[in-house]
Amino acid sequence: MKKVKIDAYAILQRVRKENPLVHHLTNWVTIYDCANIVKVIGGSPVMAHAREEASQMAGLASSVVLNIGTLTTELVEAMKLAAGAANKKGIPVLLDACGVGATSMRYQKSLELLDEAKIDILKGNASEIANLAGEMVRTKGVDAGDVLSDKVSLAKRLSSARGCAVVITGKEDIVAEKDKVYLINNGTPFMSGIVGTGCMSSSVVATFAAVEPDLALASAAGLVCFEIAAELAAKETKGPGSFKEKLFDCIFNLDKKSIDKMQRVEG
Amino acid sequence: MKKVKIDAYAILQRVRKENPLVHHLTNWVTIYDCANIVKVIGGSPVMAHAREEASQMAGLASSVVLNIGTLTTELVEAMKLAAGAANKKGIPVLLDACGVGATSMRYQKSLELLDEAKIDILKGNASEIANLAGEMVRTKGVDAGDVLSDKVSLAKRLSSARGCAVVITGKEDIVAEKDKVYLINNGTPFMSGIVGTGCMSSSVVATFAAVEPDLALASAAGLVCFEIAAELAAKETKGPGSFKEKLFDCIFNLDKKSIDKMQRVEG
Amino acid sequence: MKKVKIDAYAILQRVRKENPLVHHLTNWVTIYDCANIVKVIGGSPVMAHAREEASQMAGLASSVVLNIGTLTTELVEAMKLAAGAANKKGIPVLLDACGVGATSMRYQKSLELLDEAKIDILKGNASEIANLAGEMVRTKGVDAGDVLSDKVSLAKRLSSARGCAVVITGKEDIVAEKDKVYLINNGTPFMSGIVGTGCMSSSVVATFAAVEPDLALASAAGLVCFEIAAELAAKETKGPGSFKEKLFDCIFNLDKKSIDKMQRVEG
């Protein structure tokens, strides 16, 4: 893989211009931050989890985010309805497999979502994605998820098996869709110092996917923009409180120059 | 209509002194911001949505906010119980018809709330209020909601029909109760740049209505205070993150001089 | 009681090193702040309230927080399952009796939790704790909860009766476990100027209790760290918005020197 330049700014500008509606069925912890990040980056967030309206709302949207961070059986039923409506309309559905390895409920419900709906972008950290791939992550005391080539290979295999784009976030992010792979090396340690950056990056990716049909490119561009904003925020930060405030300022003010100059992408 | 001066500061001071309890049955997205804005402006917020306690909690409160942003059938049942207790006690109930035009569930549940309880203040943007009035908003390709005189007339008609104060928020806010009308021209574009200002302004209005029986005046005064604080915050802002932080600072520090000098009200 | 020095910094450092998982079943208002404060102080928060996974998640954790701020019958059932798993595993369970005096549902559900599970740390303000102790708080027009010796005596009685540590927060915090008593005199009025400091301090105490088996010491140390950070934040604050942002910065950057120098503890 070698260094590539992606036109993330062009997609960001399309988001700002088209103002796509992004429907979320998400967790109660970061629900505000997910809504606000979509708004600040130029989209239009909506959160609606009642089974009675989940599919109608998805029918109005340009993409759908499913995040199982504080799932219940009822919420997952509403997710299936929203995903079904989205599939029918042909808009992308992103599943953030938040904490999937922690409990059997999360694992089973994630598989149900993958089996009963068409998920277009599947996103998680290395251990979550390995878990969903049904693979042994730890071998001989070494976390296989720590070896980059293993993670790329995992993402590609799961992408083929599930017919979707796969996004593995971490110090280095991996986006795989069939044979296309992007590695994104942006970001800052401050991102893992607060709650919500993973969920917010899912919302940003889904917002970009709402305007860009190449889902691998949309995912890579969304991560690049989010993480460059985080790098800019980190520069003026005294701790996690000020980092978060500045993250929203920096995403709002993100310009072509920063995106072109700061992006570190391989493909 | 001509320029008028309302004594919004006097009502704000009463809020700060009487510290009214404002009960919310609201959405999961902005629930923290709604609670915090009530606290910061001088009230005492409580959020309680279980059907088992909704009416008892309303019975302790000085006003009640119903916000359908992430409604479910269960939540609306609890709203009816809370509204019933509030009606019995004679304290004002505000309904924020958040997103009412988006799905049939929101429309039907809003009508149920309007029909089965006495709503004292009905609040939404122009399209939400038009929707509830059952009126055609778009005629001949022009959004009727964009013409100020049409919106004032809509607010007055709905106020008469429903026997409540009607608040239409937008670039220019309209408050109508029977023949009384206020137009509020305060605010800043930053307000629509973050998620939650609409919900927060509902909570502020309900807090003012908890201490001021003239509901049109209470609504206008609440909007004036909230939006002047937003204007002050916007002056020292670099983006939506710092705007929001400063909004809370500015509301907390709001003084008579700013309110008297900066208010732009017609009546 | 006389001035004592507790090694709060040593426990904070253990939190930062061991990164304990703290499972929350909490309210929807401050759920983000509770998660974020645990993260920022060095722990690892998880929020999971589905009955299907509550006990499995508690089985992975090092402590459990139950907060009844926006309780429902379903949530309390999940709390019982989580508490049961925590009791079996031998990890501490903290109950924040948020608003227990307001409604009969809160009172009854709190008693159910106290009776059906082993609560290790019971936390509330003076009126909440008195309520749970079944005692008359107001006598002859005077709030008995305002007299420090009465509050200490109340905390000790309830600790004996329930076999748990009892934490009463207020201008002066009281921690009692059997015969051990700590008074903490740190804090700033800004803490009661925003929503969520009470809930956040519960999460911090539970995080400290996850690494320190002496629950009275863990509670006192957690409160000392949280409140010293609040004092530091208050110094650079213009209002409740900036106070909250700086609170997270100050907790993250909390050092031995500040803790040793600023703590005001009696025991």
The one-digit pLDDT tens for each residue of chain A (267 residues) are: 899 999 999 999 999 999 999 999 999 999 999 999 999 999 999 999 999 999 999 999 999 999 999 999 999 999 999 999 999 999 999 999 999 999 999 999 999 999 999 999 999 999 999 999 986 444 444 444 568 888 999 999 999 999 999 999 999 999 999 889 999 999 999 999 999 999 999 999 999 999 999 999 999 999 999 999 999 999 999 999 999 999 999 999 999 999 999 999 999
| pLDDT tens digit sequence for B53-103 | 999 999 999 999 999 999 999 999 999 999 999 999 999 999 999 999 999
A239/C247 CB distance under 8 A = no
Mean pLDDT of C254-267: 98
- Answer whether B50 touches C (CB < 8 Å): yes
Best B19, B22, B40 residue to mutate vs chain C (most C CBs within 10 Å): B40
Which of the four pLDDT bands, split at 50, 70 and 90, describes residue C142? very low
Q: For residues A137 and A145, is the Cβ–Cβ distance under 8 A?
A: yes
The set of chains that have 3 or more CB pairs under 8 A with B is: A, C
Provide the number of CB pairs (under 8 Å) joining chain A to chain B. 85
A241/C253 CB distance under 8 A = no
Question: Residue C149, Cα to own-chain centre: how many angstroms?
Answer: 21
What percent of chain C shows pLDDT beyond 70? Answer: 96
A248/B240 CB distance under 8 A = yes
Mean pLDDT of B171-200: 97
The SS3 assignment for C62 reads coil
* Residue of C27, C103, C245 lying closest to B245 (CB–CB): C245
ipTM: 0.95
Inform me whether the pLDDT recorded for C53 exceeds 90.
Answer: yes
* Residue of B29, B103, B106 lying closest to A47 (CB–CB): B29
Helices (H), chain A: 8-18, 31-41, 51-60, 73-89, 104-116, 126-132, 148-162, 197-209, 215-235, 240-252, 256-262
A195/C31 CB distance under 8 A = no
Question: Residue B165, Cα to own-chain centre: how many angstroms?
Answer: 11
Residue B240, judged by CB atoms within 10 A of its CB (0-12, 13-18, 19+), counts as buried
- B20 contacts: CB under 8 Å, gap ≥ 6: B43, B44, B61, B62, B63, B207, B210, B211
* Residue of C35, C50, C246 lying closest to A71 (CB–CB): C50
Q: For residues A40 and B193, is the Cβ–Cβ distance under 8 A?
A: yes
Inform me whether the pLDDT recorded for C185 exceeds 70.
Answer: yes
**Span A3-266 CATH architecture:** 3-Layer(aba) Sandwich (3.40)
- B51 contacts: CB under 8 Å, gap ≥ 6: B74, B77, B78, B81
The SS3 assignment for A166 reads strand
Question: Chain C: nearest CA to A225, how far in angstroms?
Answer: 23
B239/A249 CB distance under 8 A = yes
* Residue of C48, C56, C247 lying closest to A70 (CB–CB): C48
- What is the β-pairing status of strands C93-96 and C63-67? parallel
A248/B238 CB distance under 8 A = no
Q: Which residues pair with C265 in a beta bridge?
A: C4, C184
What CATH number does the domain located at C6-180+191-219 have?
Answer: 3.40.1190.20
Question: Chain A: nearest CA to B10, how far in angstroms?
Answer: 33
- Answer whether A36 touches C (CB < 8 Å): no
C56/A245 CB distance under 8 A = no
* Residue of A40, A52, A57 lying closest to B240 (CB–CB): A40
B252/C241 CB distance under 8 A = yes
Question: Chain A: nearest CA to B107, how far in angstroms?
Answer: 11
B102/A57 CB distance under 8 A = yes
What confidence score (pLDDT) does residue A16 get?
98
Question: Chain B: nearest CA to A56, how far in angstroms?
Answer: 6
- A160 contacts: CB under 8 Å, gap ≥ 6: A178
What's the rounded Cα separation, in Å, for the pair C255 and C253? 6
A250/B239 CB distance under 8 A = yes
C242/B246 CB distance under 8 A = yes
The set of chains that have 3 or more CB pairs under 8 A with A is: B, C
Domain borders along chain B are: 3-266
What's the rounded Cα separation, in Å, for the pair C154 and C159? 8
Mean pLDDT of C149-155: 92
| pLDDT tens digit sequence for B32-49 | 999 999 999 999 999 999
* Residue of C103, C240, C245 lying closest to B53 (CB–CB): C103
Angle between helices C31-41 and A240-252 (to 10 degrees): 120
B49/C33 CB distance under 8 A = no
Q: Which residues of B touch A247 (CB under 8 A)?
A: 241
Mean pLDDT of C40-69: 98
Question: Chain C: nearest CA to A232, how far in angstroms?
Answer: 17
Provide the number of CB pairs (under 8 Å) joining chain A to chain C. 84
What confidence score (pLDDT) does residue C138 get?
43
Question: Chain C: nearest CA to B153, how far in angstroms?
Answer: 37
Question: Chain B: nearest CA to A79, how far in angstroms?
Answer: 14
| pLDDT tens digit sequence for B106-160 | 999 999 999 999 999 999 999 999 999 986 444 344 444 568 888 999 999 999 9
For chain C, the C-alpha Rg in angstroms (whole number) is 17
* Residue of A40, A50, A246 lying closest to B72 (CB–CB): A50
- Answer whether A193 touches C (CB < 8 Å): yes
- Answer whether C149 touches B (CB < 8 Å): no
Sign of CA dihedral C74, C79, C85, C87: negative
Q: Hey, which residues 219-258 in chain C have their CB within 8 Å of chain B?
A: 238-242, 244-245
- Answer whether B56 touches C (CB < 8 Å): yes
Token pair belonging to B119: 């709503």
What confidence score (pLDDT) does residue B146 get?
67
